[in-house]
Amino acid sequence: MHATHDPAAPPADTIGFDDFLAVDVRAGTIVAAEPFPEARKPAFKLTIDFGPTIGVKRSSAQITEHYDCDGLVGRQVLAVVNFPPRQIGKFMSQVLTLGVPDADGHVVLLHPSATVPNGGRLF
């Protein structure tokens, strides 16, 4: 299966409910955001608090078109917390912050429509 950013792409292959449950998506609050000038594509380094069970994790996110570092702090986001860490240059990204592309292909972050406890799991 291959992820695509093309809104006209057909749906991915059918999966079972257990496959969906294997992807652990949680809500967290961005507690710090900083530029990531070493990244190949414009990105920010995010520090996200997922509550006492999961703790604070870091993520690299290519979200520079719609967001700035100051405006990101305090924002809740959704992220996959059970992928293996990924080395991006000298930075270790521990979670995958989720978003969808706008009409120009720039990432728009996914977030709860109301404040929820950090660590809340998507279902």
The angle formed by the CA atoms of residues 66, 45 and 107, to the nearest 5 degrees, is 30
Interacting residues of 66 by C-beta distance below 8 A, sequence separation 6+:
102, 106, 107, 108, 109
For a pLDDT cut of 70, what percent of the chain falls above it?
Answer: 96
51-81 residues labelled b (16+ CB within 10 A) or e (exposed): eeebeebebbbbbbeebeeeebeeebbbbeb
The two beta strands, 44-49 and 25-35, are: antiparallel
Q: pLDDT tens digits for 12-58?
A: 999 999 999 999 999 999 999 999 988 889 999 999 999 999 999 99
CB count in 10 Å sphere of residue 33 = 23
Domains defined along the chain, listed by start = 25-109 (2.40.50.140)
How sure is the predictor about 1, in pLDDT bands with cuts at 50, 70 and 90?
very low
Cα–Cα distance, 7 to 11 (Å, whole number): 10
The answer to whether 107 touches 65, Cβ cutoff 8 Å, is yes
Mean pLDDT along residues 51-80: 97
